[in-house]
Amino acid sequence: MGVHRIAVTDHRRAVILLCILLFAATFWTSTHGAQTAQVPEFTHSDEASWINSPPLALKDLQGRVVLLDFWTFDCWNCQRSLPWLKSLEKKYRGRPFQVIGVHTPEFPHERSRGRLLDRIKLLNIEHPVMVDNDFSYWNAVGTHGWPSFYLIDKTGQVRETHVGEIHLDDKTAQQIETMIDTLLATENR
């Protein structure tokens, strides 16, 4: 009888451990893992929905590595990621790399285009920003937090995702920059 109890207990432990590992693997892939899905087309194409750029479409970005930054202007985590984003823009200037901000408001006052324009000027954001007040692109991509970053290869495939702030030279920044270097070195396929 004692041997049977040990076997059942070991089996339960194994099942629990397997569940924990599956959950951890799912979480890691959803926040850090390589993806292979095609990025959805931008959901806003009118002039008023784009800042620092005319309206963009995926075809305009073919052959470029793109980092989508889902952010909102009163998010401290988003603001603390800006030095890293600006360092990427400087590091990869002149290369086929583009940061695109997707401003999706968390609070009602962040829906104001005037306030958004003021904050973009104050924060010295120069890359294109799509205004996503209706959450249509947020939902199309499946974003679930601020800030969220999606690294897109030259063919429009999502290759890496990360949710949460990123700082200069932290491990996540280094991993993403290594992936950017790899994608820039890859021919269009």
Cβ atoms within 10 Å of 103's Cβ, excluding its own: 24
- Mean pLDDT, the chain, as a whole number? 87
The predicted-structure confidence for 9-29, as pLDDT tens digits, reads as follows 565 665 454 444 344 333 333
pLDDT of residue 47: 97
Locate 51 and state its tokens. 């800042």
Average pLDDT over residues 173-189: 91
Beta strands in the chain (DSSP E): 50-51, 65-71, 97-103, 129-131, 148-152, 158-163
* For residue 122, pLDDT beyond 50: yes
* For residue 164, pLDDT beyond 90: yes
pLDDT of residue 176: 97
pLDDT of residue 16: 53
Looking from the CA of 74 toward its CB, the CA atoms found within 13 Å total 9
Lowest mean pLDDT among 9-18, 56-65, 152-161, 179-188: 9-18
Cβ atoms within 10 Å of 102's Cβ, excluding its own: 24
The predicted-structure confidence for 56-98, as pLDDT tens digits, reads as follows 999 999 999 999 999 999 999 999 999 999 999 999 999 999 9
